[in-house]
Amino acid sequence: MYSNVYQGEFGSIRNLISKNEFQKAYDLLQKISNKCSEWYYLTGLSAMNIGYYDEGEEYIKTAATMEPTNEEYSHAFNQYNQYRNDYNRNSYNYNRRKQNDLGGCCCCCGDDCCDTLCQLWCADQCCECCGGDLITCC
């Protein structure tokens, strides 16, 4: 799995990760010169959990590539890919709904107005908020 020289150190780093002390784990990993698959895996986990997503993804991918039979590494890589794909799909669908949702568009809220009628309605609403009235029938 990994060099006996770092076995105790990797164990303590895994312990830090289990306690959600990702920055400490990441800092300790940066001091290790032997970059084996365990180093890449643990660095990837800690990097992602402190917000270095691209770096973390690359490290976990490297660990999974170095040891393709290691289920822990491949599971983490597949799980991250699934999370990223779900996030991308959800954000795409959310943005698509917002662009096509005529009922929710309002220039007052910073959304793009969808058509002229919506723009007029939004302008009237803004006027009424300020005490005026752009369209008297509404």
Q: Whole-model pTM above 0.75?
A: no
Q: What is the pLDDT of residue 3?
A: 44
Q: Tell how far CA 58 is from the center of its chain.
A: 14
Token couple for 59? 């490290």
Mean per-residue pLDDT of the chain: 78
Would you state the torsion angle of the CA atoms of residues 30, 33, 38, 40, taken in this order, to the nearest 10 degrees? 50
Residues 57-75: tens digit of each pLDDT: 999 999 999 999 999 999 9
pLDDT above 50 (res 85): yes
pLDDT above 60 (res 111): no
In the chain, the percentage of residues whose pLDDT exceeds 70 is 60
Q: What is the pLDDT of residue 66?
A: 96
> d(Cα 97, Cα 100) in Å, to the nearest integer?
5
- Residue-range domains of the chain with CATH: 7-100 (1.25.40.10), 104-138 (no CATH)
